[in-house]
Amino acid sequence: MSLIKVVLKTLLWMIVTSVTFLSLSCKSEKENAKEEGRSPNVVIIFTDDQGYGDVGCFGATDILTPHIDGLAKRGVKLTDFSVAQPVCSASRAALLTGCYPNRLGIHGALMPLNTHGINQEETTMAEMLKAKGYATAAFGKWHLGNMGPFSPLKHGFDEYFGIPYSNDMWPSHPWQGTIFDFPPLPLYENDTPIDSLEDQSNLTTQITEKAVDFIKRNKQSPFFLYVPHPQPHVPLYVSDKFKGKSDRGLYGDVIMELDWSVGEIVKTLESEGLTKNTIVIFTSDNGPWLSYGTHSGSAQPLREGKGTAWEGGVREPFVISYPGVLPEGKTVATHVMSIDILPTIAHVTGAELPSLKIDGVNAWDVFMGTSTKSTHDAYYYYYATNELWAVRQGDWKMYFPHKYRTLNGKEGGANGTPTQYEHNTLEEPELYNLTNDVSEINNVFSQNPDIVKSLSALADAKRLELGDSFHEIEGSGMREAGVME
């Protein structure tokens, strides 16, 4: 046999061997993925009215949050994460559907006697993952419609325990009998009211116990666990084990108990061998309710709080952990919004996106740190009356004329009694560069006519799509909320 034939035969053998090895390797990876159940579990912990500065890894020095801080050390911390609206129901609708809430006809905070809520035609994250074979549960505050056709069990969750709306919508509200006439606050187990709450001291503990039990019962299959805690929304309640523990009074005690709850969930994932196959997200629905002063959180160094589109109302602490997949101890400054969570989870789990149009975009590359570019050309901030209050593109955020609530420098109330806020009117548009001025102190509108022109054009296009009641434009892309039958 000639030398050339020997060389060719050797090369052919090497090629065949390599192809066979690669084929077997790919097959082995697929088999291992199937055997290990590689579709990751998803846990989302969603607190209520928590400020940007109320977590240790986001700057708090007077509240200890070792478990949330631990998630950040083992995962990714986003310093520029915002919610779609700075108020309860709208914010939850955005998280669970990937849509701007006004696209769904969900505005503001739904009240106990409201007859509308999330439409049955919308696809929630629970429904999306349930179609992939996930077990699903929600424990905490729902606030997307007062049960009936709006029940979590009608929108993809197998189990539910908690309250149907905010924990202050009850007869003990400080304005009961004058502004409000609230019925007793019901506690639900699935679709059945099991109690009327008069004392909420043990509610965080009960929710945590439900979450831990759900993980243990569903460890053999993928699961989606949604924990929308009612705290630290006023009225503040904490169990005896955390009373007097923080250096920021009752509010700090409440945050420490919420951190404990995160720790119990993480500890259970570890003990059940699920840590490396579980995505854990921690964030909040909007900024602090500043009217309540000592019973509210801190948005420092951000401007204003809940109920406003200023950064203090919409920017939230955000931590995501997925050990062995996401980088550890990474801080990401790229802007992401809550509408992006659903499509990101769909990407990671292989779930099919909702059939109806959504607004969110997969942000996994941002979480991974492989991209520093926002997945959206721009983000839009509406509020309860379907007014477009602001548009954000990159470093720039422009506000349009609107009324917003503020304390105007007054101190918030003490011991659970609110200070009545005032309504300021923004008469002219304002522009801020958030990278240089995160506190939104220096209005640079007049110095940047090209930026103003560009952002105004983006806003006008979005108004034509989603409407703007302030400008009397009815959006063609808006859908209707569900109606009580």
**Catalytic residue IDs:** 88, 143
Do residues 404 and 424 touch, judged by C-beta distance below 8 A? yes
C-alpha 439/C-alpha 433 separation (Å) is: 10
C-alpha 347/C-alpha 363 separation (Å) is: 9
DSSP string for residues in 283-331: EESS---GGGGGGS---TTSS--TTSSSHHHHEEEEEEE-TTTSPSSEE
CA atoms in the 13 A half-sphere facing the CB of 365: 9
C-alpha 21/C-alpha 309 separation (Å) is: 56
H helix intervals, 359-402: 364-368
Query: Collapsing DSSP states into helix, strand and coil, what is residue 340?
Result: helix
Hey, what are 452's tokens? 């103003």
Closest CA to 388 of 429, 416, 346: 429
DSSP bridge partners of 47: 284
Helix, strand, coil in percent for the chain, rounding step 5: 35, 20, 45
> Which whole-number Å values give the CA distances from 463 to 139, 242, 382, 388, in the listed order?
36, 47, 10, 7
C-alpha 133/C-alpha 268 separation (Å) is: 22
User: Terminal CA-to-CA distance of the chain, rounded, Å?
Assistant: 87
Do residues 101 and 85 touch, judged by C-beta distance below 8 A? yes
C-alpha 388/C-alpha 14 separation (Å) is: 64
Residues 270-278: contacts with CB within 8 Å, 24+ apart? 272/215, 272/216, 272/219, 273/219, 274/41, 274/215, 274/219, 275/323, 276/323, 276/324, 277/36, 277/37, 277/38, 277/40, 277/41, 278/40, 278/41, 278/42, 278/43, 278/322
C-alpha 19/C-alpha 36 separation (Å) is: 25
Length of the chain: 485
Residue with tokens 């009225």, as numbered in its chain: 235
Task: Report angle CA 92, 93, 96 to the nearest 5 degrees.
Answer: 80
